[in-house]
Amino acid sequence: MKKIIKLEFLILTFIIFVSMGWKGWLIFSGHVPFNADEAVVGLMARHILQGERPVFFYGQSYMGSLDAGLVSLGFLLFGEHIWVIRAVQSLLYLGLLLTTYFLGKEMFSSGGVGLIAAGLLSIPTVNMTLYTTVSLGGYGEALLLGNFILLLTVRLWRRFRVVEAFLWGGLAGLGLWANALTMVYVVPALVFLIVHHRQNIYKMGKMFLWIGLGGLLGAFPWWWYALYHGWYQLVAELTGSAVSVEQVPWLARSGLHLVYFVLLGIPVIFGLRPPWAVEWLAFPLIPFAVAGWGILLFACARLARRQTEVQKGYRLLLGVGVTLIVGFVFTAFGVDPSGRYFLPLAVPLALMVATGACYSQLPRWLRSAALMGIVSFQVVGNLQTGLTYPPGLTTQFHAPTIIEHRYDEELIQFLKDQGETRGYTHYWVAYPLAFQSSESLLFVPRLPYHTDLRYTSRDNRYAPYDDLVKSSLRVAYITTNNPALDRLITDGFQRLGITWKEKTIGDYHIFYALSQKVAPEELGIGEKP
Average pLDDT over residues 233-249: 76
Q: Is the pLDDT of residue 185 over 70?
A: yes
Query: Taking the mean position of all CA atoms in its chain, how far away is CA 203?
Result: 37
Do 425 and 334 lie in a common domain? no
Do 301 and 418 lie in a common domain? no
238 within 8 A of 193, measured Cβ to Cβ: no
424 within 8 A of 469, measured Cβ to Cβ: yes
CA distance linking residue 36 with residue 260, whole number of Å: 25
The CA-based angle 99-84-445, given to 5 degrees, is 110
Given pLDDT bands bounded at 50, 70 and 90, which one contains residue 527?
low
- Which of 336, 360, 386 represents a domain boundary (last residue)? 386
Average pLDDT over residues 297-307: 91
Given pLDDT bands bounded at 50, 70 and 90, which one contains residue 121?
very high
| Average pLDDT value over all residues in the chain | 93
**Tens digits of residue pLDDT in 126-170:** 999 999 999 998 999 999 999 999 999 999 988 889 999 999 999
Q: Is residue 168 part of a domain?
A: yes
Q: Is the pLDDT of residue 422 over 80?
A: yes
Q: DSSP secondary structure string, 369-409?
A: HHHHHHHHHHHHHHHHHHT-TTTSS-S--SGGG---GGGHH
The CA-based angle 161-162-168, given to 5 degrees, is 90
- Which of 386, 409, 427 represents a domain boundary (last residue)? 386
Q: Is residue 391 part of a domain?
A: no
Q: Give the 3-state secondary structure of residue 356.
A: helix
Q: What is the pTM of this model?
A: 0.95
Q: What is the pLDDT of residue 150?
A: 97
Which of 528 and 438 is assigned the larger pLDDT? 438
Which of 121 and 334 is assigned the larger pLDDT? 121
Q: Is the pLDDT of residue 389 over 80?
A: no
Domain of residue 45, residue span: 2-386
- Quick one: how many helices (H) and strands (E) in the chain? 22, 5
Q: What is the pLDDT of residue 1?
A: 62
Instruction: Outline where 30-138 has alpha helix (H).
Output: 36-49, 66-78, 82-108, 111-122, 126-131
Do 451 and 511 lie in a common domain? yes
- Side-by-side strand order, sheet with 501-505: 442-445, 422-425, 476-480, 508-512, 501-505
Q: Is the pLDDT of residue 51 over 90?
A: yes
Out of 114-123, 203-212, 286-295, least confident range: 203-212
Q: Is residue 87 part of a domain?
A: yes
Q: What is the pLDDT of residue 529?
A: 44
Given pLDDT bands bounded at 50, 70 and 90, which one contains residue 3?
low
431 within 8 A of 36, measured Cβ to Cβ: yes
CA distance linking residue 180 with residue 188, whole number of Å: 14
User: How many CB atoms lie under 10 A from the CB of residue 45?
Assistant: 28
Do 362 and 422 lie in a common domain? no
Report the domain count for the chain: 2
Q: Is residue 492 part of a domain?
A: yes
Query: Taking the mean position of all CA atoms in its chain, how far away is CA 256?
Result: 23
85 within 8 A of 42, measured Cβ to Cβ: yes
Residue 340 vs residues 21, 337, 358, 363, 392: alpha-carbon distances, Å: 23, 8, 29, 36, 17
Proportion of the chain above pLDDT 90, given as a percent: 77
Proportion of the chain above pLDDT 70, given as a percent: 98
Name residue 431's beta-bridge partners: none
Do 363 and 444 lie in a common domain? no
Helix (H) or strand (E) holding 17: helix 2-29
Average pLDDT over residues 92-121: 95
- Which of 343, 363, 386 represents a domain boundary (last residue)? 386
Q: Is the pLDDT of residue 53 over 60?
A: yes
461 within 8 A of 455, measured Cβ to Cβ: no
43: left (phi over 0), alpha (psi -120 to 50) or beta: alpha
CB proximity list for 372: less than 8 A, separation 6 or greater: 292
Q: What is the pLDDT of residue 401?
A: 84
**Tens digits of residue pLDDT in 443-479:** 999 999 988 898 988 899 999 999 999 999 999 999 9
Average pLDDT over residues 240-254: 78
